[in-house]
Amino acid sequence: MYDFIRMILSFVFVLGVLVFIHELGHYLAARWRGVHVDVFSIGFGKPLYSWHDKVGTEWRICPIPLGGYVRPHGFADPEDVSEEERATYIEGKTFHGKDVGSRAIVIAAGPIFNFLLAIILYFGLFVTVGKHSLGEPIAQSVVADSAAAKAGIQPKDTIVKIGDINNPGVENLVLYAQQHPDLSTTISVKRDGKEVVLPITIGSKENNGKKVGQLGVQLAINIIAGKPMSVGGAAVAAVQETWNVSKKTIIGLGQMITGQRSAKDLGGPIKIAQLSGQVSKGGFADLVNFMALLSISLGLINLFPIPVLDGGRLVFYAFEAIFRRPVPKSIQERAFQVGFALILLLFAFSMYNDVTQLSWFRWLTGHSN
């Protein structure tokens, strides 16, 4: 019960901070570009608590902690608004009354603030506890009759090479195996201070009609503790880490799309909640690192060129800036419908992945090990 409560509290804290910073980006950019903001909401549903600030913005705390939103004044297209509503507009303060550059800045500010948050979080970690790094993967357990077992890999072996890849790390090791089913190669391990070279034929299994390689070994992550860095060094390292994580995230998503990596790795709210609870056990530093990773993911996802997301609106604004006219209303409406359907499908798929990984579901379907 204590673990469940910690998981929920960690999830609400992590998601609440990320959403607040994202929406704060939209809010501050709107204020900068002279757009009045009607509502700033954290969460969805009927407000639990709300108040108005001195400039008239309504701030809301709502019970469903799965997002939030900022509603700029006059955000709806003018032709979609009644004359009575347009009559209530504050002159010069509407979103659609601004030039396309200002509108783009307001929309882009949300994802940008997510990247800035990641940089700040990494900076705080690096300047206080240092930059931790992942060491070589260690075999925690070996599946009987698997490729690893047949090769002679033993628990506590440190894997230092596979094929022609030195120091592969956990991610590259798993990816190499997935991409090379039934390949005969060698794998080098450190055992009792000595390096041992073992011949191995990578195993395989069917995944959506495609062969995927597997080693049959559960890996432990060897974390190498760092040392506190100088302010300047931490600032540079924080920017580099945000850039590197962004690249890896994009590459990982591309590998899911092309089938190089299983789409089952894609998680939704349940998985995020579980991971929030798990990392909170490791202490505040681990939770902060996890928040930085999620903040980068949130920023990237919102930049996808899907119309209901910030990235889709930016595509429309780019068209408007280039051709000096907005995208036709009929095309925008159809694009938003398709985009909304894609988001629903993505959410449903991630939720399916989450549920099928739960122990009780695997027990009900007879897949419990």
Residues labelled catalytic: 23
Q: What are the backbone dihedrals phi and psi of residue 121, each rounded to the nearest 5 degrees, phi first?
A: -65, -45
Cβ atoms 172, 251 nearer than 8 A? no
Q: Are strands 37-44 and 64-72 parallel, antiparallel or unpaired?
A: antiparallel
Cβ atoms 261, 177 nearer than 8 A? no
